[in-house]
Amino acid sequence: MLYELRIYDIVPGRMEAILDRFRDNVIALLAKHEMKTTNFWVDADESKNRLYYVLEHENADSRERNFEAFLHDPEWLDIQYRTELNGPLYEKIESIFMQNVPFFKSI
């Protein structure tokens, strides 16, 4: 399993708009493209204006294939257009890819 930690630096004043977009549309659309959202956070320090979430992928190849399909999905393009009519929601996105270590098991 490949885990992707995605970190968004949100445009000031746009946190609620991006949270609404994920809640109302994007999490389900990611699942449609075989990307499971395993957790979702906002920074405890609100001044950092950051959003974090983890996606599960079967492997790196499936991540690339599924994410590419997501980015070209007409439903995503419509959601992106509608939710960014008043400007972008984020300034940058960072992805960190992780794998489990063999000695650690969740309790």
CATH number assigned to the domain comprising residue 69: 3.30.70.100
Per-residue pLDDT of 3-31, as tens digits, reads 999 999 999 999 999 999 999 999 999 99
Q: Which residue has the tokens 């983890």?
A: 54
Q: So what's the pLDDT on residue 104?
A: 84
Q: So what's the pLDDT on residue 102?
A: 87
In the sheet with 50-57, reading across from the earlier edge strand, the strands are: 36-42, 50-57, 2-10, 90-98
Q: So what's the pLDDT on residue 107?
A: 62
Neighbours of 51 (CB within 10 A): 21
DSSP H/E element including 30: helix 27-32
103 within some domain: no
Global pTM reads 0.91
SS3 label, residue 73: coil
105 within some domain: no
Instruction: Count up the domains in the chain and report the number.
Output: 1
78 within some domain: yes
Per-residue pLDDT of 38-96, as tens digits, reads 999 999 998 999 999 999 999 999 999 999 999 999 999 999 999 999 999 999 999 99
pLDDT at 106 over 80: no
26 within some domain: yes
Domain around 59: 2-98
User: Would you say 92 and 1 are in contact if contact means Cβ atoms under 8 Å apart?
Assistant: no
Bridge partners, 60 (sequence order): none
